[in-house]
Amino acid sequence: MSAQGRDEGLVILGAGLTGLSAAYYAGPGARIFEAEAQAGGVCVTDREGPYSFDRAGHLLHLRTREVQRLIQKLLPGRFQILARDARVHLMDTAVRYPIQANTFGLLPEIKGDCIRRYLEAAVLMKKRPRNFQEWTQATFGKSLSRLFFEPYNHKLWTIPPSDLTLEWMKSYVPQPDCSRVIRGAFADIPEGGGYNAEFCYPQTGGIGILGQALAANISRLSLNARAVSVAPRRRTVDIIGPGRITWQRLISTLPLPALVAMLEEPPRKILEAAQQLCSNSVIIVNLGVRCSRRHPAHWLYFPEAEYSFYRVGFPSNYGRMAPRGISVLSAEVAVKAGTGWEGRKKLACRVRRDLIKAGLLGKKDVIEKEYLQYLPYAYVIYDKNHFSARKIILDYLESQGIKSVGRWGGWEYSAMEDAILAGKQAVLKK
């Protein structure tokens, strides 16, 4: 093979939802390479005998007609629409999410303090908040902030909320009006709120069928093909297996720091910027439990420090994930980037103890299956360096003819629908 390699025109790195979407909309002229043995990125479903385990909670929230039409075209009749039932576990009770609109169920003195502080915050002259902690205190009052927002987000992001910027929020933090907050303090109101009040999920097969359906419509997808080097000047990429490929257009959905590490002779400022990008990792402890009674919610948030997990999902409440009579529980634990996996057995033991303490595992329940998963890249952390470091790298890549897009390629907090749209836009915007 020549030093320049085989010319493939449009090359896409990574077959997660963004990469698959880009290849789907580009048509047969695109070549897509995926390092793993299956397409889908983190939006896959691992099969373990009769069990199905998604890699963390992946629920589809649809806002746009175009993605709705795409899903119906690819998987007609396979997805069901469900009204969210999410709760916040606090002081041995579970109140409806979002808690800022549903304090009914909390102890009267705690609820009263939350509402009083919320009303004070609503009428006070506000300074411009400098970070997420200041924003939640100014928006919801100090009591709700300290009860839920600060401890939960510290658990999730693994850094103090005072170190989080406001870039990531968009529609992800519901802001109910004052009347809804008051009504939710005096009555149990099941109506939803926020971007995920409804979600779509397959009745069978797990969320992984979405990536599989996209992949089935792509003719030039190479699996077990890991990119190891990218040379912008020569416009080549070295792939384990296929070898050296020449590209005219390159779309990368790989994690931004990983892509920078592959670049041939990048400027020092790009290497320095990449070192400032932060993320966390997540360990998922999945249990198949034979139980007499299962929790009715779709998932629970756990802000309290005494519990190891920040969220526990109940996939069997929205999909067929296990044999009859067995329910799947998925506990998600956030850790510092690249850590935690070595101590997974010890962590799994603690998770089981915490599930018992929370009342989600009973003494007579039988754990029939345990399955652990690890997401080395889970959530992009929006600290003070995020905006500038990300912009420096993306601007440089763009100048070299490389589009880096998607949740990890664009180094952003986004949902599955956003990933699909990002892939489409990367192809259409030349």
* Residues 359, 285 share a domain: yes
d(CA 360, CA 365): 10
Tokens of 73: 């075209």
Residues 88-128: tens digit of each pLDDT: 999 999 999 999 999 999 999 999 999 999 999 988 867 88
d(CA 386, CA 377): 15
d(CA 224, CA 213): 19
Average pLDDT over residues 281-295: 94
Q: How confident is the model at residue 293 (pLDDT cuts 50, 70, 90)?
A: confident
Residue 292 has what pLDDT?
77
Return the number of other C-beta atoms located less than 10 Å from residue 69's C-beta.
10
Residue 348 has what pLDDT?
98
* Residues 70, 210 share a domain: yes
DSSP bridge pairs for 327: 289
* Residues 226, 161 share a domain: no
Closest CA to 181 of 96, 107, 124: 96
Is the per-residue pLDDT at 3 higher than 60?
A: no
Tokens of 332: 């998600």
Residue 169 has what pLDDT?
84
Structural element, H or E, at residue 257 = helix 256-262
Which string of DSSP letters, residue by residue, matches 413-428? Answer: ---HHHHHHHHHHHHH
How many folded domains does the chain comprise? 3
Return the number of other C-beta atoms located less than 10 Å from residue 193's C-beta.
19
The CATH number assigned to the domain holding 351 equals: 3.90.660.20
d(CA 175, CA 318): 26
* Residues 310, 168 share a domain: no
* Residues 190, 120 share a domain: yes
Task: Flag whether 99 is in a domain.
Answer: yes
Q: Among residues 178, 195, 212, which one ends one of the domains?
A: 195
Task: Flag whether 239 is in a domain.
Answer: yes
Residue 5 has what pLDDT?
63
Q: Among residues 169, 195, 221, which one ends one of the domains?
A: 195
Q: What percent of the chain has pLDDT over 70?
A: 98
* Residues 290, 252 share a domain: no
Is the per-residue pLDDT at 224 higher than 50?
A: yes
Is the per-residue pLDDT at 309 higher than 50?
A: yes
Number of H helices, E strands in the chain: 14, 20
Average pLDDT over residues 203-213: 97
Residue 332 has what pLDDT?
98
Average pLDDT over residues 76-97: 95
Task: Flag whether 413 is in a domain.
Answer: yes
* Residues 398, 263 share a domain: yes
The CATH number assigned to the domain holding 53 equals: 3.50.50.60
* Residues 189, 129 share a domain: yes
The CATH number assigned to the domain holding 178 equals: 1.10.3110
Cis omega (within 30 of 0) on the bond before 174?
Answer: no
Q: How confident is the model at residue 2 (pLDDT cuts 50, 70, 90)?
A: very low
Give the residue numbers spanning the domain of 326: 280-375
Average pLDDT value for the chain: 95
126/63: higher pLDDT: 63
* Residues 95, 182 share a domain: yes
Task: Flag whether 1 is in a domain.
Answer: no
Tokens of 30: 């695109």
Q: Given the DSSP bridges, would you call strands 249-252 and 10-13 parallel, antiparallel or unpaired?
A: parallel
* Residues 68, 29 share a domain: yes
Residues 227-257: tens digit of each pLDDT: 999 999 999 999 999 999 999 999 999 999 9
Q: Rounded to two decimals, what is the model's pTM? A: 0.94
Q: What angle do CA 41, 271, 3 make, to 5 degrees?
A: 75
Q: How confident is the model at residue 430 (pLDDT cuts 50, 70, 90)?
A: low
